[in-house]
Chains A and B, each alone.
Chain A
């Protein structure tokens, strides 16, 4: 398939081709069209499904769609209730959005690596990277948004001075102020970075392994890609779950006054 098309560049060319996004623009103002497109489509899918469930929601016997939506809602709600003890209109819907969106991102990984790029190339699209969570921009967009929310709620709940005090005087008391500040800044900054890089790393590695498997002779491929795909079902769910739970935990930490 695509391997032959890029035979001249060899295996490296094939891999690089698969990991190159479809982009327009220069420098910082580059846009990864594939990431934007697929994440918007997947977001639309999520919204469409849940909006349909929400419109049909009754307290009577639920249908299939509503049942599934309610299962998700209860799952997310129980996670939120476990770690977050305040009251917030935002946090549960946020967690639901993150879980579903990230899950759908990751799910794109289960499509055969060459399928969508091949369809793309038929339509004249040269590069296509279908898994948005293998794009650092996608993962960082979420984690930075979460980071802003952490800052926002920290200031809102504790007050600007309370938040500043927490940054300066904890955990070692006022006499070690610079050290505290450094430690706290690292702690806060580590949150979005670890969130984004964990998801990105896992999915990037997973996708890379699918690509590597695709380089092998066709007879061996199923023996490897099938177990890896099964294993990946676990990975993609787990990564979506981790992203959601950590978001809840971080936000509940932001709500807590020490």
Chain B
């Protein structure tokens, strides 16, 4: 159980092993570990970011949906109002048209009445004249009666 030259041999072996580990073993393995750590961290960060973005998008979607609903409600209201207006307007227009038609008809009636009256008057006067002429031709002074007849005919008109 003595210390001897084996010690030196062992120390050389040990030194070689340590040197080799330091040079060729530790750095690549450690580096791959670090790289993987970084990749995992990156992945997790990306996932978190994605989650956040999704939440944001969801919120935005909800907002957009709400806005759209409001807008559509507005549009419906407006259309309703507009329809009411149109109905009112058409009612008014119809009423006015009716009135106008009524007035026109009245005017035509009046005009036709006037014409009928005129023609009647002319007919009556010529009839009367004719009758009177026949009477008077049988009797009295033509001129005097003519005057009276004119007066009467004017009274009719």
Contacts and interface: CB of A to CB of B under 8 A. Distances in A.
Contacts of A43: 13, 16-17
Interface stretch (B24-32, B84-92, B95-103, B112-120): B24-32
Q: Which of B3, B10, B36 gathers most chain A CB within 10 Å?
A: B10
Contacts of A39: 10, 13
A141 B26 contact: no
A145 interface: yes
B4 interface: yes
A136 B31 contact: no
B15 interface: yes
- Interface SS of chain A: helix
A25 interface: yes
Contacts of A255: none
Nearest to A132: B10
Task: Place the interface of chain B in its size category.
Answer: 20 to 34
A67 to B, nearest CB: 11
A137 B4 CA distance: 7
Contact of B32 (A31, A47, A57): A57
B25 A47 contact: yes
B10 A55 contact: no
Interface stretch (A85-93, A167-175, A219-227, A234-242): A85-93
B10 A97 contact: no
A27 B13 contact: no
A29 B3 CA distance: 10
Contact of A145 (B1, B3, B11): B11
8 contacts: A47-B21, A47-B25, A54-B29, A77-B30, A90-B18, A93-B21, A140-B10, A142-B14
Given A32-B6, A137-B4, 5 more contacts: A28-B5, A50-B25, A55-B28, A69-B29, A90-B18
Interface of B: 1-11, 13-18, 20-22, 24-33, 35-36, 38-39
